[in-house]
Structure 1
């Protein structure tokens, strides 16, 4: 165990986490020049295109130190986005130390701080690493000063490196070996192992990634998952190189995988504890919790004939993403579909993209919403995440919506624009801190429903990409919530309904009506698109009909002849409106989701 080091790399988005992991793998001689490609640990196309890590990966690196000792370094890679903060916390619980990356040109950002606090909660050894020192805009002294003032760490021992150019990688290895402690634990105690990730393999079933804290596990052992009591016989154990490498056993302190014939990913929960069935531990490892979705949206196939293939696609997708929650749903306008719960807006986008790419699904998603709480006059409390289940307004005594604490880090020059944006989004209780000269951290309490839509995109736009944003849920707060219905030709379109704050209802109504007016094609009769709250119409757009010039053949002559033809046409249009139905194209549902500026 003295020769094992378990560590993770944490950083703000785009600070070079995956690139540093690539260099460590190359330096350890795990991959030849021919096999190498950028973002080696990011296996999905979306991860490679967007430059983000979605699924955490693990790899064991052999390293021979300057003193000649051979170490086994287990790198547990973590996702970088705020949506996946629970997975990050479980990965950190499996380590003894972390490399905290700071970009030499951008300095400390919002998520750098959030990740630092997460690492401190687990009492980990923190090694600050200043990356991208090769950039012309790199300011190493500024980065060191921010590490001292904002993070409270000793910048004397910060490791300087450039992951892209491969500078200073040897120093990073030496820092890991000398400063991160060896794992503690005893191979003789009963088995306790923490699941920090799991993924589905179509040939072997579920492959569980775990860190062994005590005891040992071999092929043929019967293991038990402590959250649900399920027992399985171990088929194979091993460690992660670039491919899986079987071993005879996994012992205390090691990180590896267990294959035991588990068929559904929902049985293996991230954060759960594995123990031996015949010699179990008395209580599970701390920190396990059920992952709760915060953003909800409905998914429908574009053609109703594709519904069976969407069912199959979601079942297969769920094998690789246990955080997705879904149940059957139906809509008058869009037919059969599913109501899904997501960890956040990035998670929603990833699910949508992966369904379209990996499973060839053409889908429509309804407007994302959050969970609202309503207290009724009879004292009962209902939780609503779908506008269809909005209770009768006369029975509502109190309505509440979820609030978050938003932490926004920006250069000082953007303060006015960001304050205006936060106020528009109903932000309250602003607090400011100036971590270093020229940079400001703004804390706001904001309704989650305002943030899930387009807040992050707008923040990036007005700060020219320099703004960073992190949030955590705080509580539910009272607010006046109403259901905004959209009527097309006098009929409600249930898929376009949304729950909004009373102050924002008109603004939303106007925006949706204008969007639909652009998307719905002209018909032979006039179409009214209206936004309504209860029985009150609050916005309207009108699509004018196709017109045929029926008076073209009347040149000269009495005006009454023309009027007679126009009256006849008007009566025809009126009759057509009574029986005609409006075809709403699929693009109209997508257009409503887009923001005003796009």
Structure 2
């Protein structure tokens, strides 16, 4: 028998939070299977991860929700709304909105790996929302599992009592009933007033080709039903609700959603940008007096250019990007042209993982070969006062658009605070990496055999290849989490790469003056190996303004013009060589250097310093 959802005491809303790969999607699978949400035949692994890329990488990109029915030990049937949240730092805002829709959380910790950086970040967000947190120690059947040590870690690092932590193994199905019972016993029911004006939080939205935009909501007060006219308070738009339902995980249409319930609505919306995560939905005729707190516009953090390898694919790229945007409102783009790469798009992303995912989806789902320019962050440039305009500040997304250095007063770059967990033996190398990247150490503490580092770092240094280097130095044992802490002034310069005295706009980047020479020399050396030899000598230079800071030269392909001179006077050979030299000089003036696309791809590839 289905639970009576009008009785708030029979509802439990909870999310699963964990570090990447600690088993939260597998645990969600087992909970769905145990409560009969899907039969064994319908079940697939990671059922809530519906993209191939999510399943392959073992990461959750979009938050998913499912409504389950569970008969607890007291014989009562409860409605459990489970939200499977992303664990990666790029999607922190999505996590915060999903957590705001719940009253409690299952904290999943790997019995072999213990507490990691993102576990900590998500737990603190959960604590901020006053959640009841139930620790679940997963993978207890592994030979390397140490549940008692992990319990001690949870108590020491997070400060949560872990004596009654549930011991489970999602893969083997151990402890699943205990997890469900702990949800019923320890997570409080939601509060809400059915008679108050409608107030619902927009938790997530995605585009469905048949239904239009599907909106995931959590009703706080009032109720929402089919045929109701609703208003999005931050977006300012009005829509007629044409479908109300829940996922079990198959779609089930419902007459209405009441207070405390989580479900979905559709309202014939075609543009996902109208449905912003965190917005408040209210009734048009009887609106709520104030929106829910915590809404903010999601701003892209990392920008890069995407260009098709084959210029004929530009229209295909444009269509593909528009289709992807239907499902991901946090991804922004605008058209740009490059003298070297032709037509393409300047795209904004929430972080490096987001960039990688979008790029991979374009390659896989739409069969595109892409060139990605070096990622850059958003700089604030304060221009010096001019008579007409006075002082003004501009935001710079593309290094090629940098204004004249004489007009620039100061440049500010975004900084982050990073938390790094690393085993003791790799600590020295990680400290050196952070120092090399202009990091400022804030804190160093020890938890068991691992060090917890807090560093302030410029985001510009992190987006390049910091994460790859961190993982390779620590052999994959270090975990990393960060949040932005605002902009700070820095001694930053635009470094241009010139090939045969012509600047290549796609290779220009903004770097700190202290590291410009090293970065410039590395880029010149790499291009020297990548650009094929021509019939004339090609200089490759890295320059800041008019000052060249690094140079490499590609030697010319030479025909042996003296081969026909057998013996005779040396002046005959000299005359032929001089004639060749003149020809090479003339050729260099008029010749253009063909840089193959593979050279661009290799030169722009991150992580090959």
Range of TM-score over shorter length: over 0.9
Deviations 1:287-320 (A, max 9, x none): 1000011111112222232222222211111110
Matches of 2:296 and 2:343, distance apart in 1: 32
Shift of 1:27: 1.1
Matches of 1:439 and 1:299, distance apart in 2: 40
Say which of 413, 433, 436 aligns to 1:424.
Answer: 436
Matches of 2:463 and 2:335, distance apart in 1: 23
RMSD of equivalent CA atoms: 1.3
User: 3-state SS of the aligned residue for 1:578?
Assistant: helix
Shift of 1:358: 1.6
User: 3-state SS of the aligned residue for 2:122?
Assistant: helix
User: 3-state SS of the aligned residue for 1:337?
Assistant: strand
- Residue 37 of structure 1 aligns with which residue? 44
Is 1:451 the counterpart of 2:462? The answer is: yes
Say which of 53, 65, 81 aligns to 2:88.
Answer: 81
Q: What TM-score do you get using the length of structure 2 for normalisation?
A: 0.96
Say which of 581, 584, 596 aligns to 1:585.
Answer: 596
Equivalent residue pairs, number: 597
- Counting only pairs closer than 5 Å after superposition, residues 237-316 of structure 1 correspond to structure 2 as 237-316=244-323
List gaps (5 residues or longer) in structure 1.
none
- Counting only pairs closer than 5 Å after superposition, residues 93-242 of structure 1 correspond to structure 2 as 93-242=100-249
User: 3-state SS of the aligned residue for 2:376?
Assistant: coil
User: 3-state SS of the aligned residue for 1:35?
Assistant: coil
Deviations 1:440-470 (A, max 9, x none): 1111111000001111111111111110111
Matches of 2:488 and 2:135, distance apart in 1: 39
- Residue 402 of structure 1 aligns with which residue? 414
Shift of 1:128: 0.6
Q: Which moved more, 1:118-127 or 1:520-529?
A: 520-529
- Residue 572 of structure 1 aligns with which residue? 583
Matches of 1:596 and 1:562, distance apart in 2: 48
Is 1:386 the counterpart of 2:398? The answer is: yes
List gaps (5 residues or longer) in structure 2.
1-7, 386-390
Matches of 2:42 and 2:486, distance apart in 1: 49
User: 3-state SS of the aligned residue for 1:111?
Assistant: helix
Matches of 1:597 and 1:486, distance apart in 2: 17
Shift of 1:597: 4.5
Q: Is the 8 A contact 2:507 2:604 kept in 1?
A: no
Matches of 1:430 and 1:231, distance apart in 2: 48
Q: Is the 8 A contact 2:374 2:605 kept in 1?
A: no
Matches of 2:25 and 2:120, distance apart in 1: 19
User: 3-state SS of the aligned residue for 2:42?
Assistant: coil
Q: Is the 8 A contact 1:511 1:596 kept in 2?
A: no
Q: What TM-score do you get using the length of structure 1 for normalisation?
A: 0.98
Shift of 1:396: 2.0
Shift of 1:596: 5.9
Matches of 1:184 and 1:542, distance apart in 2: 71
Q: Is the 8 A contact 1:103 1:130 kept in 2?
A: yes
Matches of 1:217 and 1:445, distance apart in 2: 45
Deviations 1:306-347 (A, max 9, x none): 222222211111110000111221111122222111111111
Shift of 1:595: 4.5
